[in-house]
Protein backbone atom coordinates (compact mmCIF):
# COMPACT_ATOMS: atom_id res chain seq x y z
CA UNK A 1 0.00 0.00 0.00
CA UNK A 2 1.01 3.58 -0.67
CA UNK A 3 -0.45 6.97 0.24
CA UNK A 4 0.10 8.87 -2.99
CA UNK A 5 -3.44 10.20 -3.36
CA UNK A 6 -5.94 10.67 -0.55
CA UNK A 7 -8.16 8.49 -2.77
CA UNK A 8 -5.77 5.57 -2.10
CA UNK A 9 -7.82 5.31 1.10
CA UNK A 10 -11.50 4.39 1.23
CA UNK A 11 -13.90 6.31 3.48
CA UNK A 12 -13.60 3.46 6.00
CA UNK A 13 -9.80 3.58 5.77
CA UNK A 14 -9.80 7.32 6.39
CA UNK A 15 -12.03 6.90 9.46
CA UNK A 16 -9.71 4.20 10.81
CA UNK A 17 -6.70 6.49 10.41
CA UNK A 18 -8.59 9.38 12.05
CA UNK A 19 -9.77 7.23 14.98
CA UNK A 20 -6.21 6.11 15.62
CA UNK A 21 -4.92 9.68 15.24
CA UNK A 22 -7.43 10.82 17.90
CA UNK A 23 -6.17 8.10 20.23
CA UNK A 24 -2.52 8.95 19.59
CA UNK A 25 -3.30 12.62 20.33
CA UNK A 26 -5.28 11.88 23.48
CA UNK A 27 -2.63 9.57 24.90
CA UNK A 28 0.43 11.41 23.60
CA UNK A 29 3.46 10.46 25.69
CA UNK A 30 2.02 7.09 26.71
CA UNK A 31 5.07 4.78 26.90
CA UNK A 32 3.09 2.07 25.10
CA UNK A 33 3.49 4.02 21.84
CA UNK A 34 7.29 4.02 22.02
CA UNK A 35 7.52 0.55 20.54
CA UNK A 36 4.94 0.90 17.75
CA UNK A 37 7.62 1.51 15.10
CA UNK A 38 10.62 0.11 16.98
CA UNK A 39 13.36 -0.89 14.55
CA UNK A 40 11.66 0.87 11.60
CA UNK A 41 13.29 3.53 9.44
CA UNK A 42 11.71 6.07 7.11
CA UNK A 43 13.55 7.78 4.24
CA UNK A 44 12.06 11.28 3.93
CA UNK A 45 13.05 12.87 0.62
CA UNK A 46 12.46 16.60 0.15
CA UNK A 47 12.82 18.26 -3.25
CA UNK A 48 11.12 21.38 -1.83
CA UNK A 49 11.27 23.22 1.52
CA UNK A 50 9.10 22.12 4.44
CA UNK A 51 8.48 22.98 8.07
CA UNK A 52 5.36 21.06 9.17
CA UNK A 53 5.70 17.97 7.00
CA UNK A 54 9.35 17.40 7.77
CA UNK A 55 9.01 18.03 11.50
CA UNK A 56 5.82 15.97 11.83
CA UNK A 57 7.39 13.00 10.04
CA UNK A 58 10.60 13.14 12.06
CA UNK A 59 8.88 13.64 15.44
CA UNK A 60 6.25 11.00 14.62
CA UNK A 61 8.92 8.41 13.84
CA UNK A 62 10.84 9.26 17.04
CA UNK A 63 7.71 9.25 19.26
CA UNK A 64 6.74 5.82 17.90
CA UNK A 65 10.22 4.39 18.49
CA UNK A 66 11.45 4.50 14.88
CA UNK A 67 13.89 6.66 12.98
CA UNK A 68 13.52 9.11 10.08
CA UNK A 69 16.28 10.16 7.69
CA UNK A 70 15.91 13.62 6.17
CA UNK A 71 17.22 13.42 2.60
CA UNK A 72 17.43 16.61 0.62
CA UNK A 73 16.73 15.98 -3.07
CA UNK A 74 19.81 17.92 -4.09
CA UNK A 75 22.13 15.98 -1.76
CA UNK A 76 20.92 12.60 -2.96
CA UNK A 77 22.46 11.09 -6.10
CA UNK A 78 18.94 11.66 -7.51
CA UNK A 79 20.04 15.27 -7.90
CA UNK A 80 22.95 14.12 -10.10
CA UNK A 81 20.79 11.98 -12.35
CA UNK A 82 20.44 8.62 -10.58
CA UNK A 83 17.09 7.34 -11.75
CA UNK A 84 13.95 7.33 -9.65
CA UNK A 85 13.49 3.54 -10.11
CA UNK A 86 17.07 2.85 -8.96
CA UNK A 87 16.64 5.18 -5.99
CA UNK A 88 13.37 3.45 -5.04
CA UNK A 89 14.85 -0.03 -5.38
CA UNK A 90 17.94 0.76 -3.33
CA UNK A 91 16.12 2.63 -0.56
CA UNK A 92 13.72 -0.33 -0.32
CA UNK A 93 16.69 -2.49 0.75
CA UNK A 94 17.48 -0.10 3.63
CA UNK A 95 14.26 1.33 5.03
CA UNK A 96 10.67 0.34 5.80
CA UNK A 97 9.00 3.30 4.13
CA UNK A 98 9.71 6.26 1.85
CA UNK A 99 8.09 9.68 2.16
CA UNK A 100 8.78 12.18 -0.61
CA UNK A 101 7.94 15.82 -1.29
CA UNK A 102 8.37 16.20 -5.02
CA UNK A 103 8.19 18.89 -7.66
CA UNK A 104 6.30 16.69 -10.10
CA UNK A 105 3.54 14.24 -9.17
CA UNK A 106 4.98 11.79 -11.71
CA UNK A 107 8.05 11.40 -9.44
CA UNK A 108 6.01 10.09 -6.51
CA UNK A 109 4.04 7.81 -8.81
CA UNK A 110 7.28 6.39 -10.21
CA UNK A 111 8.74 5.99 -6.71
CA UNK A 112 5.62 4.08 -5.74
CA UNK A 113 5.84 1.87 -8.79
CA UNK A 114 9.43 0.79 -8.13
CA UNK A 115 9.56 0.75 -4.34
CA UNK A 116 9.15 -2.50 -2.44
CA UNK A 117 8.20 -0.52 0.68
CA UNK A 118 5.24 1.85 1.17
CA UNK A 119 5.54 5.33 -0.34
CA UNK A 120 3.93 8.41 1.23
CA UNK A 121 3.27 11.60 -0.74
CA UNK A 122 4.63 14.41 1.43
CA UNK A 123 3.25 16.93 -1.16
CA UNK A 124 3.38 16.96 -4.91
CA UNK A 125 2.16 19.59 -7.34
CA UNK A 126 -1.09 17.57 -7.63
CA UNK A 127 -1.93 16.42 -4.10
CA UNK A 128 -1.13 16.70 -0.40
CA UNK A 129 -2.83 13.72 1.27
CA UNK A 130 -1.06 14.01 4.65
CA UNK A 131 -2.36 17.57 4.98
CA UNK A 132 -5.90 16.55 4.25
CA UNK A 133 -5.93 13.82 6.90
CA UNK A 134 -4.97 16.47 9.48
CA UNK A 135 -7.66 18.76 8.08
CA UNK A 136 -10.33 16.05 8.35
CA UNK A 137 -9.19 15.28 11.88
CA UNK A 138 -9.59 18.95 12.77
CA UNK A 139 -13.03 19.24 11.17
CA UNK A 140 -14.22 16.16 13.05
CA UNK A 141 -12.85 17.52 16.34
CA UNK A 142 -14.76 20.75 15.85
CA UNK A 143 -18.05 19.42 14.43
CA UNK A 144 -18.14 15.77 15.54
CA UNK A 145 -18.82 14.61 11.98
CA UNK A 146 -17.62 14.92 8.40
CA UNK A 147 -20.61 13.74 6.42
CA UNK A 148 -22.71 16.66 5.24
CA UNK A 149 -20.22 19.33 6.34
CA UNK A 150 -20.30 22.39 4.07
CA UNK A 151 -16.76 23.20 3.01
CA UNK A 152 -15.76 26.27 1.01
CA UNK A 153 -12.38 26.54 -0.68
CA UNK A 154 -11.42 30.06 -1.65
CA UNK A 155 -8.45 30.76 -3.90
CA UNK A 156 -6.08 28.64 -5.91
CA UNK A 157 -7.30 25.25 -7.14
CA UNK A 158 -3.98 23.74 -6.09
CA UNK A 159 -2.62 20.50 -4.61
CA UNK A 160 -4.28 21.05 -1.21
CA UNK A 161 -7.57 21.98 -2.90
CA UNK A 162 -7.38 18.84 -5.08
CA UNK A 163 -6.92 16.55 -2.08
CA UNK A 164 -9.72 18.36 -0.22
CA UNK A 165 -12.03 17.77 -3.19
CA UNK A 166 -11.29 14.04 -3.22
CA UNK A 167 -11.66 13.80 0.56
CA UNK A 168 -14.99 15.63 0.39
CA UNK A 169 -16.25 13.19 -2.20
CA UNK A 170 -15.12 10.20 -0.13
CA UNK A 171 -16.50 11.51 3.17
CA UNK A 172 -19.80 12.89 1.87
CA UNK A 173 -18.98 16.54 2.50
CA UNK A 174 -20.49 19.34 0.41
CA UNK A 175 -17.73 21.35 -1.20
CA UNK A 176 -17.77 24.59 -3.14
CA UNK A 177 -14.63 26.02 -4.72
CA UNK A 178 -14.23 29.67 -5.73
CA UNK A 179 -11.20 30.40 -7.89
CA UNK A 180 -10.37 33.09 -10.44
CA UNK A 181 -10.87 32.00 -14.06
CA UNK A 182 -7.97 29.82 -15.15
CA UNK A 183 -6.94 28.88 -11.60
CA UNK A 184 -9.62 26.31 -10.79
CA UNK A 185 -9.02 22.73 -9.64
CA UNK A 186 -7.55 20.04 -11.88
CA UNK A 187 -10.15 18.59 -14.31
CA UNK A 188 -9.08 14.98 -13.69
CA UNK A 189 -9.46 15.48 -9.94
CA UNK A 190 -12.99 16.87 -10.43
CA UNK A 191 -13.87 13.87 -12.62
CA UNK A 192 -12.42 11.46 -10.08
CA UNK A 193 -14.42 13.16 -7.29
CA UNK A 194 -17.55 12.76 -9.41
CA UNK A 195 -16.83 9.07 -9.92
CA UNK A 196 -16.34 8.68 -6.14
CA UNK A 197 -19.87 9.95 -5.67
CA UNK A 198 -19.29 13.57 -4.72
CA UNK A 199 -19.74 16.42 -7.11
CA UNK A 200 -18.00 19.67 -6.27
CA UNK A 201 -19.47 23.05 -7.24
CA UNK A 202 -16.88 25.33 -8.85
CA UNK A 203 -17.95 28.99 -8.84
CA UNK A 204 -16.26 32.31 -9.53
CA UNK A 205 -17.77 34.32 -6.66
CA UNK A 206 -16.06 33.74 -3.28
CA UNK A 207 -19.15 34.95 -1.35
CA UNK A 208 -21.26 32.33 -3.15
CA UNK A 209 -18.82 29.59 -2.15
CA UNK A 210 -18.68 30.74 1.47
CA UNK A 211 -22.45 31.30 1.90
CA UNK A 212 -23.62 28.99 4.73
CA UNK A 213 -20.25 27.21 4.94
CA UNK A 214 -19.08 25.52 8.12
CA UNK A 215 -15.46 25.33 6.98
CA UNK A 216 -13.69 28.05 5.01
CA UNK A 217 -10.31 26.96 3.73
CA UNK A 218 -7.64 28.68 1.72
CA UNK A 219 -3.95 28.41 0.83
CA UNK A 220 -1.23 30.47 -0.75
CA UNK A 221 -1.86 32.00 -4.17
CA UNK A 222 1.71 31.14 -5.15
CA UNK A 223 2.57 27.52 -4.45
CA UNK A 224 6.10 26.19 -4.54
CA UNK A 225 6.93 25.97 -8.22
CA UNK A 226 4.60 28.83 -9.23
CA UNK A 227 7.02 31.63 -8.33
CA UNK A 228 7.59 32.69 -11.94
CA UNK A 229 3.86 33.53 -12.21
CA UNK A 230 3.80 35.58 -8.99
CA UNK A 231 2.88 38.96 -10.53
CA UNK A 232 -0.01 37.68 -12.63
CA UNK A 233 -1.28 35.53 -9.79
CA UNK A 234 -1.29 38.41 -7.30
CA UNK A 235 -3.27 40.46 -9.82
CA UNK A 236 -5.83 37.68 -10.44
CA UNK A 237 -6.38 36.59 -6.83
CA UNK A 238 -7.05 39.94 -5.11
CA UNK A 239 -10.84 39.45 -4.66
CA UNK A 240 -10.28 35.96 -3.23
CA UNK A 241 -8.83 37.04 0.12
CA UNK A 242 -10.31 35.37 3.20
CA UNK A 243 -11.13 38.40 5.36
CA UNK A 244 -13.84 39.35 7.87
CA UNK A 245 -16.20 40.60 5.16
CA UNK A 246 -16.03 37.29 3.30
CA UNK A 247 -16.30 35.27 6.50
CA UNK A 248 -19.52 37.10 7.37
CA UNK A 249 -21.22 34.99 4.65
CA UNK A 250 -20.34 31.72 6.46
CA UNK A 251 -22.25 30.18 9.36
CA UNK A 252 -21.51 31.91 12.69
CA UNK A 253 -19.84 28.73 13.99
CA UNK A 254 -17.69 28.33 10.86
CA UNK A 255 -14.00 27.55 11.22
CA UNK A 256 -11.21 28.91 9.05
CA UNK A 257 -8.46 26.59 7.86
CA UNK A 258 -5.11 27.12 6.16
CA UNK A 259 -2.47 24.43 5.72
CA UNK A 260 0.31 27.03 6.21
CA UNK A 261 2.66 28.64 5.43
CA UNK A 262 0.39 31.67 5.10
CA UNK A 263 1.11 34.88 3.29
CA UNK A 264 -0.60 37.21 5.74
CA UNK A 265 -2.29 40.09 3.97
CA UNK A 266 -2.57 38.14 0.72
CA UNK A 267 -4.84 35.08 0.83
CA UNK A 268 -5.81 35.67 4.48
CA UNK A 269 -5.85 38.65 6.82
CA UNK A 270 -4.20 38.76 10.26
CA UNK A 271 -7.62 39.44 11.74
CA UNK A 272 -9.07 36.16 10.44
CA UNK A 273 -5.95 34.11 10.94
CA UNK A 274 -5.61 35.14 14.58
CA UNK A 275 -9.35 35.50 15.22
CA UNK A 276 -11.83 33.27 17.06
CA UNK A 277 -12.86 31.30 13.96
CA UNK A 278 -9.33 30.17 13.18
CA UNK A 279 -8.67 26.43 13.61
CA UNK A 280 -5.30 26.81 11.93
CA UNK A 281 -2.98 25.95 14.82
CA UNK A 282 -4.99 22.85 15.76
CA UNK A 283 -4.91 21.88 12.09
CA UNK A 284 -1.15 22.27 12.10
CA UNK A 285 -0.70 20.27 15.32
CA UNK A 286 -2.90 17.53 13.91
CA UNK A 287 -0.31 16.94 11.17
CA UNK A 288 1.73 15.15 13.83
CA UNK A 289 -1.01 12.94 15.23
CA UNK A 290 -2.49 12.02 11.87
CA UNK A 291 0.84 11.19 10.26
CA UNK A 292 1.63 8.87 13.17
CA UNK A 293 -1.52 6.94 12.31
CA UNK A 294 -0.45 6.86 8.65
CA UNK A 295 3.03 5.59 9.52
CA UNK A 296 1.59 2.90 11.78
CA UNK A 297 -0.87 1.83 9.07
CA UNK A 298 1.82 1.58 6.40
CA UNK A 299 4.99 0.54 8.22
CA UNK A 300 3.81 -2.03 10.78
N1 LIG B 1 1.38 22.44 5.35
C2 LIG B 1 2.58 21.99 5.01
O3 LIG B 1 2.75 20.97 4.33
O4 LIG B 1 3.61 22.74 5.50
P5 LIG B 1 5.15 22.58 5.14
O6 LIG B 1 5.34 23.06 3.73
O7 LIG B 1 5.84 23.48 6.12
O8 LIG B 1 5.55 21.15 5.28
N1 LIG C 1 0.02 24.75 -2.05
C2 LIG C 1 1.20 24.94 -1.26
C3 LIG C 1 1.14 24.09 -0.03
C4 LIG C 1 2.30 24.23 0.90
C5 LIG C 1 2.19 23.33 2.08
C6 LIG C 1 2.43 24.59 -2.10
O7 LIG C 1 2.38 23.59 -2.84
O8 LIG C 1 3.41 25.31 -2.03
**Average per-residue pLDDT for the chain:** 98
Catalytic residue set:
101, 128, 131, 219, 259, 287
Q: Which residue, among 115, 204, 221, has the nearest Cα to 158 in the 3D structure?
A: 221
**CATH of the domain spanning 129-283, picked from 3.10.450.40, 3.40.50.1370, 3.30.70.260, 3.30.930.10:** 3.40.50.1370
- Poorest-pLDDT segment among 36-45, 72-81, 165-174: 72-81
Q: Does this chain's domain 6-127+287-299 share its CATH topology with 129-283?
A: yes
Work out the pLDDT band at 89, boundaries 50, 70, 90. very high
From atom 3 of ligand 1, which residue's Cα is the shortest distance away? 53
CATH architecture of 6-127+287-299: 3-Layer(aba) Sandwich (3.40)
**214 Cα to the center of ligand 2, angstroms:** 23
In the chain, domain spans: 6-127+287-299, 129-283
Work out the pLDDT band at 199, boundaries 50, 70, 90. confident
Work out the pLDDT band at 120, boundaries 50, 70, 90. very high
pTM over the 0.75 mark: yes
Query: For ligand 2, what atom is nearest to the CA of residue 222?
Result: 8
Amino acid sequence: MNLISIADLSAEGILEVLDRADELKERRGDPAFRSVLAGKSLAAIFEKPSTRTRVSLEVAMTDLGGHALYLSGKDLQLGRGETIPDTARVLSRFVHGIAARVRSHSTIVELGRHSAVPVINALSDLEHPCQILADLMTMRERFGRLSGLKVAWVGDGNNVCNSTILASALMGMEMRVASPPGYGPNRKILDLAESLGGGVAVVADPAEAVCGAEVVSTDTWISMGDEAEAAERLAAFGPYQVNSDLLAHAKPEAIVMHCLPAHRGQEITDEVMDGPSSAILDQSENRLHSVKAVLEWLLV
